[in-house]
Structure 1
Amino acid sequence: MSRATQQPEQQPEQQPSVGTRIGRAPTPGERRRMRLRVVAWCLAALTVLIVQACSTTPPEVPIMVEGCSIVPGAPIASGQQPTTTATEGGHVPGELLISYHVPPRGIPARAQLGLDVARSAGAEIRRQGHGAEHDLAVVPERDIARAMERLGRDPRVAHVSRNYVAVRLATPSDAHYLAQWYLRDFGAEEAWALEDADGSGDPVIVAIVDDGLNVDHVDIRAKVLPGRDVYCGDDDVRTSSDHGTHVAGIAAAGSSADGRVVGVAKGRRALVLAVKVFPDDTSMAGSLDAVIRGMRWAAQLPIDGTTPGPYRADVINLSVGFGSALSTSATGLLQETVDEIAALGIVMVAAAGNTGSSSGVTYPARLDRVIAVGSVDWDFTRSSFSTYGDGLDLMAPGGAAPLLATSDAVCRFGSIHTMAGAGASGPGAVECLTGTSMASPFVAGTAALLIAAEPELRGDPQAIFDRLAATARPAGSASEYGHGIVCPDAVLGTGTTCER
């Protein structure tokens, strides 16, 4: 609703001043005083108009982003928003991401640079970046190849990339849920005997850069920090999707009297920072632009010219992917972001991908300084869907336990089960999913446990990776298993490796 225009107060009717004669011509001194009063009234009126025009509170005009609710948190009815036709490895039509070699200091100069560069290629700026942040530009799809060619020759431009589609890296299996075999059989219980992030000490923040969070779930609500929806541009991270909530639950679901499940870092000091990078419409995909900005927000770096977020993550989990066929410029943009975040001492963990091929892990997991995690089943063998090859670092449980499924009444496929999204029934609902999306937060939660146990490692992502790799359980070739399978008990030095 627009704020009503404030009218100036009515002035009382002016009476002739004492000592002024009525009905005679004014003297020169009186004429001068009258002119001054007229000027003063004009200045006052002009001041009112300027104040009204430059009010610091702009009209509240709702801006609709495709796939986002106008009212934060409101569900999107079926068919209200078009479903994206892009597939993994595809891109958002007509959108380009542009970064610069040496962005000028100051907002006006930085803004002018973006406008000049875009105009030279026949593009327009849709969203202005600030400092090292990229710009989002638009150009008719029919002209995009020519615009990219022009921008690629511009000496001011560091990278120009299509805005690639981001996808969730989980595979739904069944609506039931299973006992959490992946905690019991992979050493979490032994690790908790030393550290469960529930005692005294500083909080450890795990950022879940994903498609939102069921903030009211009984197993997470006491551990949720205020997050950000960078895709829709608001602070409402709620979602009816299961994916982000499921991922958060594996990493850090808490233990409570009315709870359903626990996460690897189950204690009260392990807090969850949800960063939503997908539309509210769960049938739609995310984008490279949103993922980069979500990573920046989680690292307390500025985005969209706004004040940085109030919290900086210790660990960032990315259970999202783009496929391995990103352009050189797109990977360059991602790597620049990762390097900036790593320099702040933040651990980054990402899902390897679910293609089941040996073609190398997906991005962003494939980047330097990001821990790429593949999935194993209950028997410590690579899940059939888990992508392997170049870039694979570690493995963790993300698959199924079929031998347990016959004796477990709740998830007949024996897959990973933890919290479900707000679209499920009740605040305690659980869901079964499999995928490298589930393996990645197991490692993120283990890293959080390690920071809680050894706070001197906070801010040293290389040392944390070295510990994870050195204590991993050997399982096979480096191509299929990287350094091996992460076992929280071995990471914390219990003397066992996945309880063996």
Structure 2
Amino acid sequence: MKIEKSRHRKIRIITTLCSIILASCFLSSTFSSADFSLKEGNFAPTGKKTYQYVPGEIIVKFKDVATEEQIRSINSIYKTSVLYTSPYARFKRIKIPPDKTVSEMVELYRKSPLVEYAEPNYIVHAYWIPNDPYYSYQWHLTQINMPSAWDIEQGGISSIIVAVLDTGVAYEDYGSYKQAPDLAGTNFVSGYDFVNDDSHPNDDNGHGTHVTGTIAQTTNNGVGVAGVAFNCSIMPVKVLDAQGSGTHQQVADGLYWAVNNGAKVINCSLGGTYGSTTLYNAIKYAYDHGVIIVAAAGNDGSSSISYPAAYDECIAVGAVRYDKTRAYYSNYGIGIELMAPGGDTSVDQNGDGYVDGVLQQTFSGGDPTNFSYWFWQGTSMATPHVTGIVALMLSHGATGIENIRNILHSTAEDLGDPGYDNEYGYGLVDAAAALSYTEYPDLTITAISYSSTHLNEPVDIYVTIANQGTQDVTEDFYVDIYYDPSETPAKGETSRKEKGQIGDDWQHITQIIPAGESIQISFTHTFTTLGEHEIWTQVDTDDSVTETNEDNNIYGPESITVEVPPGDGTTTYWAVIAGVSDYLYINDLNYCDDDAQDIYNTLLADPNWNSSHMQLLIDSQATKSAIHSAINNILSGGFDQDDVLLFYFSGHGTYYYDQSPIDETDGYDEYICPYDMDITDLFTGIRDDELEDWLNVGINGVVTLDTCNSGGFIKLNGLTSKCIIVPGLSKKAITKGDGFTKDLQDISNLVTLTACDDNESAEESTSLQHGVFTYYLLEALDNTSTDINSNNKISAEEAFTYASPKATDFNPDQHPQISDKYSGELDLINTPFADLVITGVISTPNPSVSGQQVQVT
């Protein structure tokens, strides 16, 4: 530690790599009660623009003869909207256009013969200021408009816990440590010391005590100075040592501990040049748990924000002087968010006889028993002002990290260039404006639910609308709903009259929604296509309600799956059967067309199956679009939940490692290769989860895949339909990953049979003139011994039990797979079976076997 002696000693903390430094500069210009005499009225002006009335709105009382239609017509002409109607005197609080002044709109309304009176919405004050004797020297509190803020929320509530990650706090009498006298009435909860690894996070530096004072110094007790959120609770978390240094590990552990023990806000008046994964993960953990982190921008006077303030999850705070210019030491640049008073102890701009530092009680010289009142400067001193304001906002009912940030941004006093800039961010934080902004409703949609959804049948969709604000919603508004929008809905910018209908359907809501309560409305819609659909909703589409947060008005997407209709008690069998030997872009195979043809013939010979309900696609007929259309046409054209669908495919199969897997357990996507698949463009193939989407519509199904790696298809996670997959007869090998069988295994009531496992080739044989597994599957369907249950029927499960060991005996490198999710067994054909003709015949105990490989790079 280097101490530079001058009239104002500046303590500079030197740190090493990976350490955290205090984002402040300490000054030794101290004083005690004997140093000056307090004069009544020694109260520095705020220097802020104040209003005698609320800007942007007026009060209008219409005459009793005015009808609601006439009132709406007048408001429409003037482009105003009603914010509130008094239930007692029936006057209305009216929002005026942003390009009009209050006086202009008052005069316009006064000219109407239907108006009894119109006037500004004047403001009154309780004029409360704390009686702490040195409060008048806390220019920094009046600079951010704290007196008016306390009229709205006087000190906050104890259930809001603020964690102070710092050098500790002088919060208790313990051993050689003493409690700071002006913290005697402050609420404290248990903390932790990550430097000394104990439960007594006492301050051995002074920095943490000074910071804590700004947040929650005991206030209005006739002693010393005041704090911002003096009724909130402080959680002291020591992560910095007596020299003001700490490691990322200590800070990260402190963050986790604070979040897990109930902190709602975390103050980080510390920082360093470098970020790290350790530090970021802890910051992200806090953010994901809804905890607001306020961090100091740093004291290097550089254009780079220090860490952790530089992380997007943190509110980065810079420092201004008494004259609201950026303090020379305050970091700036991309990411600076707000400014707060940090002081400049080299000047006395307000002429009160003392340097313009931030005034709080702490100790000096490393002696935690020698307390006095110190003017310090730094972004460390600026940060707790914002932290305290956030605590007051939470106490006053504000919710949501981004909502609170948006309020702070929109209510900050603009400094520097108009709007956001890299020197001042959004400007100087304004406590009163931020708290005033929370005194509005906050409409949001919290849930969408729906009844069972079937094709071409009306479905009721229920939308829950909540008012999360602190005031009742008394004005009418619109709710819009969007079905499968091509773009994400955006907030409506003009009135519904001017823009017309915005969503696919809408409702006009006129009922009052009290603060903290919800209502539920319903829409009715008929879906005409099967599968997954997206629903979005938007509340207050035409922006008629003034809210604390308008960024939460859009809700979505909510996924809804449209299924086939309920059954009628009878079972109809349907089939899409495809086989590709002659490919457009890929090397050809030998017997896949025969596989498909013989499966078709075999089923058609049974009375359960009818050609009008079956579609056979061979070679060039079996394109991706044709296969999809065939399945969709069947499921959309009279199929119900008592029916059975067989999807059979014989041909090439491949896989691809997905860098961002969605439903894969090992990162691999499997594909079956239709006639027109181009290996250089995998979108031309049928992906495992794509097949899942086609079939996941509440059906019973039989899927047979004779392709390489087909075993991986058992792993599809999302299917809830009653789909039975008769394993693929995989012909062509290209895989090294999860196959279709594994991808489909979670489909309820699904039996999946595949020709091989997920890392195997499905072979076809010249002697059998079929794919190996398909050959034995066909044999199983024409063998009375397959009927294990002796019910004169052969099920998918029984067919697999017969075919699987025979296929492996024939080709030891091929292991067919089954996943049985069907409730009971799904019967395919009757037995004995008539006149089945299989093209291939086993002629030798050691037939030749050939496998086809396709390499995907």
Give the TM-score taking structure 2 as reference length.
0.35
In structure 2, give the amino acid aligned to 1:271.
S
**What's the offset of the Cα at 1:284?**
5.8
2:358 to 416, 426, 445: 416
**What's the offset of the Cα at 1:232?**
1.1
**In the superposition, relative to structure 1, how do residues 413 and 298 fare at CA in structure 2: closer, same or farther (>3 Å)?**
same
For the pair 1:288 / 2:248, whether they are aligned, the reply is yes
**What's the offset of the Cα at 1:221?**
3.2
| Structure 2 Cα separation of the partners of residues 236 and 166 of structure 1 | 21
- The equivalent residue for 1:312 is 262
| Structure 2 Cα separation of the partners of residues 273 and 427 of structure 1 | 23
- The equivalent residue for 2:147 is 189
For the Cα contact (< 8 Å) 1:217–1:427, is it kept in 2?
A: no
- The equivalent residue for 1:385 is 329
1:275 to 237, 242, 254: 237
- The equivalent residue for 1:221 is 184
- The equivalent residue for 1:207 is 163
**In the superposition, relative to structure 1, how do residues 415 and 449 fare at CA in structure 2: closer, same or farther (>3 Å)?**
same
**What's the offset of the Cα at 1:385?**
0.5
* Helix, strand or coil at the partner of 2:152: coil
**In the superposition, relative to structure 1, how do residues 415 and 467 fare at CA in structure 2: closer, same or farther (>3 Å)?**
same
**In the superposition, relative to structure 1, how do residues 316 and 380 fare at CA in structure 2: closer, same or farther (>3 Å)?**
same
- The equivalent residue for 2:276 is 331
Give the TM-score taking structure 1 as reference length.
0.59
For the Cα contact (< 8 Å) 2:13–2:22, is it kept in 1?
A: no
* Helix, strand or coil at the partner of 1:448: helix
**What's the offset of the Cα at 1:259?**
2.4
1:398 to 329, 334, 342: 342
| Structure 2 Cα separation of the partners of residues 444 and 239 of structure 1 | 20
**In the superposition, relative to structure 1, how do residues 226 and 249 fare at CA in structure 2: closer, same or farther (>3 Å)?**
same
**In the superposition, relative to structure 1, how do residues 445 and 341 fare at CA in structure 2: closer, same or farther (>3 Å)?**
same
| Structure 2 Cα separation of the partners of residues 226 and 427 of structure 1 | 24
1:233 to 172, 197, 204: 197
**What's the offset of the Cα at 1:331?**
2.7
**In the superposition, relative to structure 1, how do residues 393 and 494 fare at CA in structure 2: closer, same or farther (>3 Å)?**
closer
For the Cα contact (< 8 Å) 1:242–1:431, is it kept in 2?
A: no
**What's the offset of the Cα at 1:404?**
4.7
- The equivalent residue for 1:475 is 415
> How does 1:65-214 map onto structure 2 within 5 Å?
87-88=14-15, 90-91=16-17, 164-177=18-31, 179-197=137-155, 203-214=159-170
* Helix, strand or coil at the partner of 1:166: strand
**In the superposition, relative to structure 1, how do residues 362 and 288 fare at CA in structure 2: closer, same or farther (>3 Å)?**
same
| Structure 2 Cα separation of the partners of residues 485 and 238 of structure 1 | 32
Cα-to-partner distance string for 1:131-157 (whole Å, 9 max, x where unaligned): xxxxxxxxxxxxxxxxxxxxxxxxxxx
Tell me the percent identity.
Answer: 31
Cα-to-partner distance string for 1:290-315 (whole Å, 9 max, x where unaligned): 11111111111xxxxxxxxxx31110
Cα-to-partner distance string for 1:54-83 (whole Å, 9 max, x where unaligned): xxxxxxxxxxxxxxxxxxxxxxxxxxxxxx
- The equivalent residue for 1:264 is 228
**What's the offset of the Cα at 1:427?**
7.3
* Helix, strand or coil at the partner of 2:192: strand
**What's the offset of the Cα at 1:225?**
1.5
* Helix, strand or coil at the partner of 1:490: helix
- The equivalent residue for 2:318 is 374
> How does 1:433-452 map onto structure 2 within 5 Å?
433-452=376-395
For the pair 1:351 / 2:296, whether they are aligned, the reply is yes
**What's the offset of the Cα at 1:218?**
2.6
For the pair 1:363 / 2:307, whether they are aligned, the reply is yes
**In the superposition, relative to structure 1, how do residues 243 and 202 fare at CA in structure 2: closer, same or farther (>3 Å)?**
closer
Cα-to-partner distance string for 1:334-358 (whole Å, 9 max, x where unaligned): 2221111111111000000001112
| Structure 2 Cα separation of the partners of residues 331 and 391 of structure 1 | 17
In structure 1, give the amino acid aligned to 2:393.
L
**What's the offset of the Cα at 1:191?**
0.3
* Helix, strand or coil at the partner of 2:235: strand
**In the superposition, relative to structure 1, how do residues 287 and 479 fare at CA in structure 2: closer, same or farther (>3 Å)?**
same
Where structure 2 has 5 or more consecutive residues not aligned to the other structure, the ranges are 1-11, 32-133, 172-178, 439-857
- The equivalent residue for 2:271 is 321
For the Cα contact (< 8 Å) 2:203–2:368, is it kept in 1?
A: no
Larger fraction in strand: 2
- The equivalent residue for 1:489 is 432
